Amino acid sequence: MRMRPTLSWTPTEDLAPGTTDPEPVADALRRGDVLVLSGAGISTESGIPDYRGEGGSLSRHTPMTYQDFIAGTQARRRYWARSHLGWRTFGRARPNAGHRAVAAFGRQGLLSGVITQNVDGLHHAAGSQGVVELHGSLERVVCLSCGAFSPRREVATRLEEANAGFAPVAAAINPDGDADLTDEQVGDFRVVPCTVCGGILKPDVVFFGEAVPPQRVERCRELVRGAASLLVLGSSLTVMSGLRFVRQASQDGIPVFIVNLDPTRGDRYAVTRVALPLGTALTTVADGLGLRVDDDTAGPG
């Protein structure tokens, strides 16, 4: 049975309204040792839609679940056709002002680390170092049989060769790199196997219904324990994947700051929520700290 990801969160209590003053975030950064936790909202200004914001992809699109992916060849054919087409657009995305500001904070020594829930690689592309990709990265492909890794661009080339002329027009591109295609558009798309053992290939990302590797979760928990404050950027915190770190910080007495246009499930734990677009808010903060947000960063890959 196809599992439907959590679409939304409805507050059960009165939450303080967001502010348009980013100065509390600047103050936290001045003190240093800030841990960033970013979500899909930081990448929307790069042309990648989010899941749950206005016009979010979950209102029209159910991402592939791990259970469906491993269950049958037709599901994998549908996934790889849609993902391959989406990669052509997704792989061209470039870091925006929000990503560049985070990288600038890191270069200045203001951050203790960066955790991202995104799989787009844009924090790396912007120059951030030591990023923990909580849900993996579309830049890598893993064999489910032998565990061998391959660069996504290498697999994309093999898929191009196996599916000459495959160029349907997608209705939309989604945050997980998937493209909206009909079954007719998918057709008889050919999936390529692992070159090492002939096994099933899967992007090295955590699908819905799949657990984040425990060692990765523990690494994130260590980062939270060592931070002076936690800065959440562009995440609704609807699912436990990110919310657990906000709860941990709150329980440990570590102040939480959120920059997100809409209310989040973590607002009750936060000192404040800045209700501004990420690029605007973080560029303003960077300017106030005397930092340059470069605009010539190379893209992923």
Is 184 known as a binding-site position? no
Is 91 known as a binding-site position? no
Question: CA dihedral in degrees (176, 295, 134, 157; nearest 10)?
Answer: 50
Is 236 known as a binding-site position? yes
What is the number of alpha carbons within 13 Å of residue 64 lying toward its C-beta?
28
Is 229 known as a binding-site position? no
Is 53 known as a binding-site position? yes
Q: What are the residue numbers of the active site?
A: 135
Distance CA 128, CA 96 (A): 13
Is 56 known as a binding-site position? yes
Provide the 10 A C-beta neighbour count for residue 218: 10
- Asked if residue 49 lies in contact with residue 244, where contact means CB atoms within 8 angstroms, the answer is no
Is 18 known as a binding-site position? no
φ, ψ of residue 149 to 5 degrees: the values are: -105, 150
Is 33 known as a binding-site position? no
Is 54 known as a binding-site position? yes
Is 47 known as a binding-site position? yes
Provide the 10 A C-beta neighbour count for residue 252: 11
Is 45 known as a binding-site position? yes
Provide the 10 A C-beta neighbour count for residue 153: 13
Is 120 known as a binding-site position? yes
> DSSP string spanning 96-119?
-HHHHHHHHHHHTT-EEEEEE---
φ, ψ of residue 2 to 5 degrees: the values are: -70, 125
φ, ψ of residue 224 to 5 degrees: the values are: -65, -45
Is 25 known as a binding-site position? no
Binding residues for Zn(2+): 143, 146, 194, 197
Residue set of the binding site: 39-59, 117-120, 143, 146, 194, 197, 234-236, 278
